[in-house]
Amino acid sequence: MLKTVDIQSLSLSRGERVLFHGLSVRLPAGEAVALTGANGAGKTSLLRAVAGFIRPDAGTITFSGGPNAGPGLDGETLEPETARRDGVHLLGHLEGLKPTRTARQEFDFQTAWLGGTGAAREAAVARLSLKPLLDLETRKLSAGQKRRLSLARLIAAPRALWLLDEPLAPLDERWRTVAAELMTAHLASGGMILAAVHDPLPVPARNLDLGGLA
Ligand SMILES: Nc1ncnc2c1ncn2[C@@H]1O[C@H](COP(=O)(O)OP(=O)(O)OP(=O)(O)O)[C@@H](O)[C@H]1O
């Protein structure tokens, strides 16, 4: 299991605009960091860079495993593209759902691809009360229902690092409480959370403020 994410002297641009430079933060097992900043400051872009989807202009993002971390992880550091394979969940605004497929098809496909076991998948469906939604095409789900489907994916196929983009935004009070419980359990089991937020995270977290627009 991954134990640490280390971001060193990171510079990131989108198009012509430099979002930030010289950004450093270390995320050890069991800890959360809340990314804050104005609209457009680069929070989502940083999450996507950590997931290996955007290359930074400069600096490094490395992942390392602790003792007995598993094949290929003992004492080694990994690049984001490699860590993404079985160490990282990215939960974004768009949820990555095909509109004309049912919630069941999407959940089964995504969790099978991520390596979730049958028992973990069933437990996730129960935890997020998804049964009444599974036969609906995803285009018919509300924003909060889509988010519940994504949260189920997080627990159906465990990954050490959760990259969460506004995780609570579409959820009502009941499901915010459940999401908070899932995050708490994830951290207690040695997981890590890096979350872009405008509201406080519902778990203890260090704050990393990307500031306003450059
Ligand atoms: N694919 C892209 N190509 C060019 N520019 C982009 C792209 N994606 C995002 N940007 C720009 O990068 C900047 C940072 O966007 P980003 O989504 O990371 O901000 P954010 O801090 O998450 O904002 P918000 O709080 O509104 O979600 C914005 O100015 C945005 O227009």
pLDDT at 66: 54
Centre of ligand 1 to C-alpha 71, Å, is 36
Residue 15, in any domain of the structure: yes
**pLDDT surpassing 70 at residue 67:** no
Give the Å distances, CA to CA, from 37 to 2, 19, 177, 199.
Answer: 27, 11, 24, 11
Q: Which residues line ligand 1 (CB under 6 A)?
A: 14-15, 17, 19, 37, 39-45, 196
pLDDT at 153: 94
Q: Which residue has the tokens 């993404």?
A: 84
Distance (Å, whole) CA 154 – CA 143: 17
Residue 164, in any domain of the structure: yes
Distance (Å, whole) CA 16 – CA 13: 7
**Protein residue closest via CA to atom 26 of ligand 1:** 39
Distance (Å, whole) CA 61 – CA 66: 17
Phi, psi of 183 (to 5 degrees): -65, -45
Q: Could you tell me which of 47, 36, 40, 38 has the C-alpha nearest to residue 10?
A: 47
String of DSSP letters for the chain:
-EEEEEEEEEEEEETTEEEEEEEEEEEETT-EEEEE-STTSSHHHHHHHHTTSS--SEEEEEEEE-TT--TTTBT-EE-HHHHHHHHEEEE-TTTT--TTSBHHHHHHHHHHHHT--HHHHHHHHHHTT-GGGTTSBGGGS-HHHHHHHHHHHHHHS--SEEEEESTTTT--HHHHHHHHHHHHHHHHTT-EEEEE-SS--SS--EEEE--S--
Residue 70, in any domain of the structure: yes
Q: How confident is the model at residue 213 (pLDDT cuts 50, 70, 90)?
A: low
Centre of ligand 1 to C-alpha 40, Å, is 5
**Protein residue closest via CA to atom 12 of ligand 1:** 14
pLDDT at 177: 97
**pLDDT surpassing 70 at residue 214:** no
Distance (Å, whole) CA 44 – CA 208: 13
**pLDDT surpassing 60 at residue 36:** yes
Ligand 1 probe mutation, 21, 44, 54, 163, most atoms within 8 A of CB = 44
Pairing of strands 58-65, 2-14: antiparallel
- What is the average per-residue pLDDT within 32-61? 95
- What is the average per-residue pLDDT within 137-166? 95
Residue 155, in any domain of the structure: yes
**Protein residue closest via CA to atom 27 of ligand 1:** 39
pLDDT in tens, 171-211: 999 999 999 999 999 999 999 999 999 999 999 999 999 98
**Protein residue closest via CA to atom 29 of ligand 1:** 40
Residue 54, in any domain of the structure: yes
Interface ipTM > 0.90: yes
Which domain does 87 fall in, by range?
2-209
**Protein residue closest via CA to atom 13 of ligand 1:** 40
Q: What pTM did the predictor assign?
A: 0.92
pLDDT at 5: 93
Which atom of ligand 1 lies nearest, measured to the CA of 210? 21
Which atom of ligand 1 lies nearest, measured to the CA of 15? 4
Q: How confident is the model at residue 75 (pLDDT cuts 50, 70, 90)?
A: low
Give how many domains the chain has, as a whole number: 1
pLDDT at 80: 78
Return the CATH number at 51. 3.40.50.300
- What is the average per-residue pLDDT within 77-86? 78
**pLDDT surpassing 70 at residue 144:** yes
- What is the average per-residue pLDDT within 107-114? 89
Q: What is the mean pLDDT of the chain?
A: 90
Residue 214, in any domain of the structure: no
